[in-house]
Structure 1
Amino acid sequence: MENNVHTQGIVKYANRNILSGILFGLGLAAFIDETVFHQLLRWHHFYDKSTTDIGLISDGLFHAFSWFATIGGLFLFADLRRRNALWLKRWWGSVLLGAGAFQLYDGIIQHKLMRLHQIRYVENVWLYDLIWNAIAVIMIVIGSIILLQTRKILRKQKELNSNA
């Protein structure tokens, strides 16, 4: 990065890039989960411990949550673009981190601890759980690596700005 107005904006709004990406990633992962696994494949509902009607209502609330998170992330994204402070690499790392965090939370907390639903109601659900959680961990690791790379760049840029 060179020392100019764009770079100063990126440094100033580095954390907002993370917030925007995490919100968008959470919302996107939740939207894909709800659309693919709840609606298209009909493997489960958000809440499966009641009637189908309650399951559908819970899916609607879950879908609303995913859209609020997605839209919130996109509003922040637009603000970053307007301020000339969008750092795409940092943003994409945060998207992966947010999506992976949502998926791991869903796979461990909602599926296993709270038992709100399972990925799929089959005899060997452990295979589905393993794949679901492994994909989540992969997204978290890749997102974290990207964020660590951008953090090193951020630190160098802050040093350059303080020396100038």
Structure 2
Amino acid sequence: MDTITAKLDPRTRVGWLLLGFALGGFFDGIVLHQILQWHHLLSGLADPAGSDLRFQIMADGLFHLFMYVFAVAGTVLLVAARAAGRRAVTTTEILRLAFIGFGVWHLVDAIVFHWLLGLHRIKMNSDMPLAWDIWWLVIFGIVPLLLVLVLPNRGGPAGASAALTSIVLLAGLAAGAGPLFNGAATSVIVFRAGMSVVPSSNEAFLQAYDLRNRTGE
């Protein structure tokens, strides 16, 4: 039997699903908790726990440790399947399974952690937290699952090219959609010629303008 058409070992399948799931969690923790600092795992808790940074960092660390458990479990399954002489997995199969695991993590995160338990939202200080939740879910949860449907059922250059295109598309959607929900407006104030930009006489005006702009008056 051809090695490519042979049935994929269940341990290989589950192993890559677990690795994709763990990568989704690591992506969430590294990007949102540490780089962007939009939320911590338990940012939605009431004070004093919600505002205790040491507690929040500890919770994030335990979260990453939990993701390591999934990653190690997946790796063990892959090693076991390979040691049993099962056929090698193709690049396209790896990406399919990893995308499924990655997307499922974001589905679980949105439905369970955001909406059912209320542990945190994608962007805690946003005026539109639900919009950010939905945008993040669509880009990093739904899109990866849809990409699985369009990836070719074969390896080789065609499969690798389609996989690379899919990853670039995912990154482009994330980069392009984010600013839509920033809710930030830019105002231009024009001073007449010869007027200093920051004199004390203009300070009260600027403060009043900023207050009206924030309150929508």
Same fold flag (TM > 0.5): yes
Q: Unaligned regions of 5+ residues in structure 1, if any?
A: 151-164
Structure 1 runs (4+) deviating above 3 angstroms are 78-82, 146-150
Give the partner amino acid of 1:29.
G
Q: How big is the alpha-carbon RMSD for the aligned residues of Structure 1 and Structure 2?
A: 2.4
Partner of 2:27: 32
Question: CA shift at 1:23, angstroms?
Answer: 0.4
Contact 1:110 1:117 in 2 (8 A): yes
Partner of 1:162: none
**1:60-75 → structure 2 map (5 Å cutoff):** 60-75=61-76
Query: Structure 1 or 2: larger helix share?
Result: 1
Q: 1:146 to 1:11 in 2, by over 3 A?
A: farther
SS at match of 2:27: helix
CA 1:42/1:52 → structure 2, altered by over 3 Å: closer, same or farther?
same
Gapped regions of structure 2 (runs ≥ 5): 155-217
Structure ID, larger Rg:
2
CA distance in 2, matches of 1:148, 1:60: 38
Question: Does the 8 Å contact 1:90/1:147 carry over to 2?
Answer: no
Matches within 5 A, 1:57-96: 57-82=58-83, 83-88=85-90, 89-96=92-99
What is the alpha-carbon distance in structure 1 between the residues aligned to residue 38 and residue 26 of structure 2? 15
Does the 8 Å contact 2:18/2:73 carry over to 1?
A: yes
Aligned residue-pair number: 144
Please name the residue that 1:42 is paired with. 37
Correspondence 1:139 to 2:144:
yes
Secondary structure, aligned partner of 1:142:
helix
Structure 2 counterpart of 1:140, which letter?
L
- Distance in structure 2 (CA, Å) of the matches to 1:12 and 1:123: 47
TM-score by length of 2: 0.59
CA distance in structure 1 between the partners assigned to 2:96 and 2:11 by the alignment: 13
Q: Aligned residue for 1:125?
A: 129
Counterpart-to-counterpart distance in 2, 1:26 and 1:65: 11
